[in-house]
Every structure is written in C-alpha cells, then in structure tokens.
Amino acid sequence: MPVPYYDFDFMLTDEQKGLRDLVKDFAQSKVYPRCRECEKDAIIPEDLVKEAMDMGLNLVTLPEEYGGLGLDNFTCAVIREQLAKGDAGFASRIFGFGFTPVKLAGTDWQKQIVADSFLNGGIMAFALTESCAGSNAVAMATTAKRDGDDYIINGSKNFITNGDSADFYTVFAVTDKEMGHKGITAFIVPKDTPGFSVGKHEDKMGIRCVHTNSLFFDEMRLSAKYRLGDEGNGFKLAMAILNDSRPATGSSAIGIAQQALDLAIEYSKERVVADKPICRNQAIAFMLADMEIQVQAARQMVWGVCKSADAGIVNRKLVAAAKCFAGDTAMKVTTDAVQIFGGNGYTRDYPVEKLMRDAKIYQIFEGTNQIQRVTVSGMLLK
C-alpha cells in the first residue's frame, strides 16, 4: 500500500528521507507500543527517553557549531511528525521547546550552557502562562526586581510542559508594571536555582507521556547574566519564539492525525459487518477520503510555513493558520477514527480514543485556536 506521507517524497532530499525513516522505525517499533501503556498512568518512559536522547533527537534545533544537528525547520517538521505519530506527548518530552529561545536572544555564554545541557540529553521548557494570564499573557503577575547584579523573581507559572523534566526554563516576568507588555523581561532559569520549585504534574486528558506542571519562584535570586535579551523585550521575544515553534506544534498534530488515519484504514478493511469489510460502505470510505484530504492539506500548510521560515520569512498569518488548521484537523480526524472504530474505538483496548485525547491539546496550547483566528483575522483586516 502506498504510504500517504510518502506522496510528496520528491520534496525531500535522500538525507531527509533517511532521517524520517530512522525516526519512523524508532517511533513505531518502540515509542508507540510503550507509550500506549505508559500514558495510562501518565508515566514518562525514562529508558526510552534516554534512547531518544542517545539518538540525538533533542539536538535537531541545536546549531552545528554547538555540537547539534542544525536542521532546518522543514526537516525538523518531517522528523517531529514521525515521533509524534508514535506518541505526541513523548515527542514533546524529547524536543521540549528546542534551542529557539537562546538562539533568538541568548548571549554566547547562555548559548553554551544550554547547548552543553542539550548534549547531555537535556531540554528547555517555556514558561509564559500563569493562572490569570493565558491567552492574555500581558496580565502576568510574576515579577523580577533588579537587585544589584541580580534579579529577585517572585510568582508562579501554570501548565508548563516539561515542568519537571527540563534543565532550563525560559521564564517571563514583569520588570516594569507601568510599561505593560513592554515591561516584560525573559530569563533562562537553571532547574537547581535556589527559590525555584516545581509543583506536581497535572492529571491531563492527553499527551500524558509528557508532564505539565506549575512552577514557583519564591524570592528566587538570579544573576543578571541569565537575562535573555534586553529588559522589556520579553513579550516580543515570547511572540517570536511562539512563531518559531508553532509549525513544530502543527507537525505533531499531523503525526497524531496520520496515525489515526492509518489505524482507521486498517481497521475498516478488517472489520466485517454484514459479510463485508466496513470500508466497502461508501459512508466509511468517504470518511477516510475526507480524513486523507484534511491531513494532506494540513501537512502542506505546515511544510509551507516551515519552508517560508527557512527562507527567512516569518509570515505570522500563515503560521497561525497552519497551527490552527493542523490542530483542528487532528481533532476532526481522530474523532472520525473513533467513529469508524465504533464501540471498540470508545474503549481503551483500541488505540484511537487515546489519539483523540492527545489531539485536543493542539487546539488549546501554544495559543488557542481562537487566538490563532484573532491573529489571522487581525492581519486580514489591518
């Protein structure tokens, strides 16, 4: 059977195909079966994490001069789709937020310490959201007060992916309340900083092989050398980081959708009702066709914005559109996969309900899909 995501192989170099196939093998043979078990109890399979880190999967965004792979956005998206196809939570655990925050604004020293942690299997987390500042990030209450050569940080962050797994956190705090979004500053915080603590992980609906935690800063003293970029530049940086990471988020959503579609095709050929496989009913066949059409469209949008970013063009409208469409597609396609599996699909004995639970977050995190629509419409009506 032709494999759907090979349809556009002509767009990939041999090297990209080689990397994709390697990650696909790893994801399908190891990650998929293992994470299906682990996610029931929200356990991170640490030995599998180590194996993925030994493969250097966390190094895809790290530039070559720091010992990383320095892959472009497009190649990262191709790889990430495959790992997320195995398990999207696991993919988030492995990739974290990549090297982007320090790549965009870090000093040489900051780049070096973060790169060194990556080379030892570390990752970075991104801490913007607070309990009263989600879509409205400007409302954040965490403060950073200058004290000589240091800052004193107080406050908390919510729903931080990889909260208890990261080595470094990109943390945003208010340095000047009067200045609104221009009063927000970014920092990189090492996990063992005194005054910093991590709450228990949330009991989530999906992507349960990555943990999501609250972070607490209690009179946390941090040297100014950990400040990421200039004072007051944090909000702008946060938006730039999100613009950079949204295509990656989209590719994870596509991985989920493709896995659901693959499973639905297989099941519809095997499941016999009234003496024929259910795929021979046009009602089912057309559902499969619609799923394929949506996944293909979403993948092309994500690949498009990746290629655009690789050409040095960040098109905020299209980035928002791609993230939004990929997330909505994952939700729609996984929901239809459960429908095709029928009653079986609704049980945990079959794999598709888990994909449906995993898909939901892609309409919520890294900017809800409503916020993406605000961006798209805002840019249309500017």
Partner 1 sequence: MNILVCVKQVPDTTQVKIDPVTNTLIREGVPAIVNTYDAFALEAAARLKDKDPDTKIVVMSMGPANAVNALKDCLAIAADRAYLISGREFGGSDTLATSYILSNAVKKIEETEGKFDAIFCGKQAIDGDTAQVGPELAEHLGLPQVTCALEITEADDAHLEVLKEGTDANMLISIGLPCLLTFTKPSFEPRFPSLKRKMMAMRAQIPTIAFSDLPGIDAGKIGLNGSPTRVKRSFVPERKKNGMIISGGTAAENAAKLSELLSDAKVI
User: For residue 85, what is the enclosing H or E element?
Assistant: helix 73-86
Cα separation, 337 vs 333, whole angstroms: 6
Q: Are strands 124-127 and 168-174 parallel, antiparallel or unpaired?
A: parallel
**Residue 72 binds to partner 1 (criterion: CB under 8 A):** no
Residue (59 or 301) nearer to partner 1, CB: 59
DSSP letter (8 states) at residue 30: I
CA distances from 236 to 11, 114, 133, 373 (A): 33, 21, 16, 19
Cα separation, 15 vs 326, whole angstroms: 25
**Residue 51 binds to partner 1 (criterion: CB under 8 A):** yes
Cα separation, 252 vs 78, whole angstroms: 9
User: For residue 321, what is the enclosing H or E element?
Assistant: helix 316-345
**Residue 49 binds to partner 1 (criterion: CB under 8 A):** no
**Residue 15 binds to partner 1 (criterion: CB under 8 A):** yes
CB of 76 to partner 1, least distance (A): 11
**Residue 77 binds to partner 1 (criterion: CB under 8 A):** no
**Residue 74 binds to partner 1 (criterion: CB under 8 A):** no
Cβ neighbours of residue 381 closer than 8 Å, sequence gap 6 or more:
none
Which 3 state secondary structure label does DSSP give 87?
coil
**Residue 95 binds to partner 1 (criterion: CB under 8 A):** no
Among 18, 180, 194, 378, binds partner 1 (CB under 8 A): 18
**Residue 19 binds to partner 1 (criterion: CB under 8 A):** yes
Contact in structure between 248 and 321 (CB atoms under 8 Å): no
Stretch that binds partner 1, among 50-58, 132-140, 151-159, 248-256 (CB under 8 A): 50-58
Stretch that binds partner 1, among 17-25, 244-252, 289-297, 337-345 (CB under 8 A): 17-25
**Residue 84 binds to partner 1 (criterion: CB under 8 A):** no
Which 3 state secondary structure label does DSSP give 175?
coil
Residue (14 or 65) nearer to partner 1, CB: 14
**Residue 57 binds to partner 1 (criterion: CB under 8 A):** yes
**Residue 210 binds to partner 1 (criterion: CB under 8 A):** no
Is 81 a residue of the active site? Answer: no
Residue (25 or 219) nearer to partner 1, CB: 25
CA distances from 126 to 140, 187, 235, 373 (A): 14, 10, 13, 22
Cβ neighbours of residue 266 closer than 8 Å, sequence gap 6 or more:
none
Cα separation, 94 vs 17, whole angstroms: 20
Among 5, 24, 26, 352, binds partner 1 (CB under 8 A): 26
Signed CA dihedral, 184, 185, 189, 195: sign only: negative
Considering the candidates 39, 130, 353, 366, report the single residue annotated as catalytic. Answer: 366
Among 22, 104, 239, 314, binds partner 1 (CB under 8 A): 22
The structure tokens 């909505």 sit at: 328
Stretch that binds partner 1, among 22-30, 184-192, 249-257, 301-309 (CB under 8 A): 22-30
CB of 324 to partner 1, least distance (A): 30
Residue (262 or 366) nearer to partner 1, CB: 262
Stretch that binds partner 1, among 20-28, 153-161, 265-273, 355-363 (CB under 8 A): 20-28
Q: Which structure tokens are listed for 199? A: 């709450």
Residue (60 or 215) nearer to partner 1, CB: 60
CB of 309 to partner 1, least distance (A): 20
59 burial (CB, 10 Å; 0-12 / 13-18 / 19+) is buried
CB of 24 to partner 1, least distance (A): 11
List of residues contacting partner 1 (CB under 8 A): 14-15, 18-19, 22-23, 25-26, 51, 54-57, 59-60, 69, 79
Query: Hey, which residues are catalytic here?
Result: 366
